[in-house]
Copies of this chain bind each other. A is one copy, B any other.
Amino acid sequence: MISFESDYTEGAHPAILRRLVETNLEQTPGYGLDRYSESAKERIRKEFGVPEADVFFLVGGTQTNSTVISSMLRDYEGVIAVETGHIGVHESGAVEYTGHKVLTLPPHEGKMSAEDLRAYLEAFYADGTYEHMVIPGMVYISFPTEFGTIYSKAELTALHEVCRAYSIPLFIDGARLGYGLMSEANDIAPKELPGLCDVFYVGGTKVGALFGEAVVFTHGNAPAHFFTTIKQHGALMAKGRMLGLQFDTLFTDGLYFEIARHADRMASLLKGIFLEKGYEIFIDSPTNQQFFVMSRQRASELHSKVRFEDWCPVDDSRIAVRFVTSWATKEENVLALKEIL
């Protein structure tokens, strides 16, 4: 059955597997000290225009979020996210497990607004009892968000300015970064992104790799002993070159962006088909996750013909559903939806 269930149902882009096979019997030092990891870091620094950035490779998204967040917070600090932010909902309390509260703001189609953030911080420091509360020490957003939406350059700039005014680092969860940056609706160039935040990561798991996330501390601002922190979090790969090789491949000849662009195009094609068929859009996403409203009964029927996820209830009779494309999505499968719908 055709599946639009998620962007992590397949393996890796074939170029990656090819590379793993070719280098399989080479002997290299462990823990990311190999030449492939070095090369990959260099390519990422170049692609994002940050020669002085610190780059580290971790295995998965939740792991990356809790490792980065806890390493940048002091014990008494919490991280601000929107209520629908991944760290606050679907990471089994990984951030709290490291001792930090997730402070929440209301989402706007999955995004945090600079106005809300500023109002929160102003009210916080205006409250005479703030020393009895959790000190806000970081802002977490995702790009694209859990609803596929993206920040405009103006929105992200505004958020970053509030963060800077309060000396709070801005962290961008880029588990699906490629799909965001390659969206036709996006006005932020890869080389502009590092200037609009303090740390972000380039998601590999959902964008062509078997696994892997590349963390970029944009201005040489990696926390001291971050290598040790990674190890302490159980996030250090013994055979670290597996991460290096994958990102080295993805950032050779623009492969990462090319495959992300493909996924976005497939998502756009898919959205057109749903609209043509008269479905209502739940949240208008310009990236590889698409959300539609349909009756529970219709969703139930469709499940027998195509794989996708029920997202959340809309009202008593209707639900939102999610269809996801990826680097691996075939155009013929999207077109096949026309028949199915």
Contacts and interface: CB of A to CB of B under 8 A. Distances in A.
Interface of A: 3, 5-6, 8-12, 14, 17, 20-21, 23-30, 59-67, 70-71, 74-76, 78, 89-94, 96-102, 128-129, 131-135, 205-206, 210-211, 223-225, 227-229, 231-239, 242, 307, 310, 328
A78 to B, nearest CB: 6
Given A5-B29, A135-B225, 11 more contacts: A11-B23, A61-B238, A65-B234, A71-B75, A75-B97, A76-B229, A91-B132, A92-B131, A93-B133, A99-B99, A211-B237
A205 B238 contact: yes
- Interface of A (DSSP majority class): loop
A232 B242 CA distance: 23
Contacts of A61: 238
A96 B94 contact: no
B235 A210 contact: no
Given A27-B10, A60-B234, A61-B238, A93 B70 contact: no
A74 B225 contact: yes
B11 A239 contact: yes
14 contacts: A8-B30, A11-B239, A12-B24, A17-B20, A61-B238, A76-B232, A89-B133, A91-B231, A92-B133, A93-B100, A96-B99, A131-B225, A206-B238, A234-B234
Nearest to A229: B76
Across the A-B interface, the 6 shortest Cβ-Cβ residue pairs: A63-B234, A11-B24, A92-B232, A93-B134, A92-B231, A9-B27
Contacts of A6: 30
B229 A211 contact: no
A17 B10 contact: no
A232 B97 contact: yes
Contacts of A94: 231-234
Contacts of A237: 59-60, 211
B91 A232 contact: yes
A211 B28 CA distance: 15
